[in-house]
A and B are shown apart, each in its own frame.
Chain A
Amino acid sequence: MPVECNKGEFVMITEIFTYIDPEPPVPANGGSLEGITVAVQPTMGVRGWPTEAGSVALERYVALEDATVVDRLRREGATIIGSTRISELGFGLVGDTSARAVSEGAVDVALAMDTMGEARIAAASAHLFGYKPSYGIVSRFGLIGLIPSMECFGMIARTPREISSVLSVMAGKDDHDFSMSDEFPDFESFDAVTVENVKLGVVREAMEFLDQDAYRAFRSSLSYLEKAGMSIREVSLDEYDLFRTIHNVIGSVEASSSAGKYDGVRYGHRAQAVKNWNEMYLKSRGEAFGLPVKAYLFQGAYFQFENYEAFDSACRIRSMLVRLMESLHETVDYLILPMKSGNVPASDMKTIDEIYGLCSHALPANVTGVPVIYMPGGLFGRETDPGFQLLAPRLGDARLLAFAAHLFDQAEGGV
Chain B
Amino acid sequence: MIYRERTHCGQLSNADENREIRLAGWVDAFRDHGEVLFIHLRDRSGVVQVVFSPDASPADVCEKAGQLRNEYCVAVTGRVFRRSHGTENPNIETGGIEVVATELSVLSKADTLPFPISEKAMVVGATVKGVESVAEDLRLQYRYLDLRRPSMQHNFMQRHRIFRCVRDYLDECGFIEVETPILTKSTPEGARDYLVPSRIHEKQFYALPQSPQLFKQLLMVSGFERYYQLARCFRDEDLRPNRQPEFTQLDIETSFIDEEFMYTLLEELTVRMFRIGGVELPRPFLRMTYGESIDTTGSDRPDLRFGLRFIDATDVFCGTSYGIFRQILQRGGCIKGINVKGQSEKLSKNVLQNEYAKQIVLGFGAKGMTWMRVIDGTLESNIVQFFSRKEQQGILERFDAENGDVIIMIADPSYEIVTSALGLLRLHLAERLDLIPRASYSPVWITDFPLFEATEEGITSSHHPFTAPDRTDFDPDNRDDLLALHSRAYDLVVNGEELGGGSIRINSKDVQRRIFQALGLSEREVEEKFGFFIRAFDYGIPPHGGLALGMDRVVSMILGTSSIREVIAFPKNRSAFCPLTQAPSRVAQEQLAELSLLDLGGSEKLLPGSEQEDNPVDALSWVSRIAVDDSERSHIEKAVDDARRLAEIVNDCRGSDEPLFSVVSVVNRTRTEPRARRSSFAENGELFRNAPSVKGDFFKVASILE
| Chain A residues near B (Cβ < 8 Å) | 60-62, 64-65, 135-136, 149, 175, 178-182, 239, 242, 245-246, 248-249, 252, 256, 260, 263-270, 274-283, 285-287, 289, 291, 294-303, 305-307, 309-310, 312-320, 322-323, 351-353, 368-369, 394
Contacts and interface: CB of A to CB of B under 8 A. Distances in A.
Contacts, number: 191
Contacts of B642: 299, 352-353
User: Which 7 residue pairs across A and B have the least CB separation, nearest first?
Assistant: A286-B627, A369-B663, A315-B659, A267-B690, A313-B654, A310-B647, A319-B657
Contact of B624 (A178, A256, A267): A256
B691 interface: yes
Given A276-B705, A286-B626, A369-B664, 7 more contacts: A286-B629, A298-B640, A299-B642, A299-B646, A310-B646, A313-B650, A316-B660
A282 B646 contact: no
Contacts of A245: 646, 649-650
B621 interface: yes
B646 A320 contact: no
Nearest to B686: A64
Contact of A180 (B617, B664, B690): B664
Contact of B636 (A260, A298, A312): A298
Interface string B674-687: 00000001000011
Contacts of A305: 619-620, 623-624
Contact of A298 (B639, B703, B705): B639
B624 A297 contact: yes
A51 to B, nearest CB: 9
B4 interface: no
B600 interface: no
Interface residues of B, number: 57
Main secondary structure of the interface of B (DSSP, over half): loop
B643 interface: yes
Given A149-B662, A249-B647, A319-B657, A282 B626 contact: yes
Question: Which of A135, A268, A270 has the most chain B CB within a 10 Å cutoff?
Answer: A270
Given A252-B643, A310-B646, A319-B659, A282 B664 contact: no
Given A286-B626, A310-B647, A319 B658 contact: yes
B640 A64 contact: no
Contacts of A318: 659-660
B387 interface: no
Interface of B: 616-617, 619-629, 632, 635-636, 638-640, 642-644, 646-647, 649-651, 653-664, 667, 669, 672, 681, 686-687, 689-693, 699, 701-706
Question: Which of A65, A280, A299 has the most chain B CB within a 10 Å cutoff?
Answer: A299
Contacts of B653: 239, 242, 313, 317
Contacts of A267: 690-692
A244 B632 CA distance: 25
B647 A265 contact: no
Given A246-B650, A319-B657, A320-B657, A265 B699 contact: yes
Contact of B626 (A65, A179, A252, A289): A289
Contacts of B639: 295-296, 298-299, 352
Nearest to A65: B681
Nearest to B703: A276
25 contacts: A61-B690, A64-B681, A64-B689, A64-B690, A175-B672, A182-B667, A245-B649, A270-B692, A274-B702, A275-B702, A286-B628, A294-B626, A298-B620, A298-B640, A299-B640, A299-B646, A305-B619, A305-B624, A310-B646, A315-B661, A316-B654, A317-B657, A319-B657, A323-B657, A368-B663
Nearest to B693: A270
Nearest to A263: B625
Nearest to B668: A178
A302 B644 contact: yes
B662 A264 contact: no
Nearest to A58: B690
A77 to B, nearest CB: 27
B690 A279 contact: no
Nearest to B660: A319
Contacts of A263: 625
Contacts of B663: 135-136, 149, 322, 368-369, 394
B692 A312 contact: no
Contacts of B654: 312-313, 316-317
B397 to A, nearest CB: 53
Contact of B625 (A136, A270, A285, A291): A285
B690 A298 contact: no
Contact of B664 (A181, A248, A277, A289): A181
Nearest to B667: A182
A70 to B, nearest CB: 17
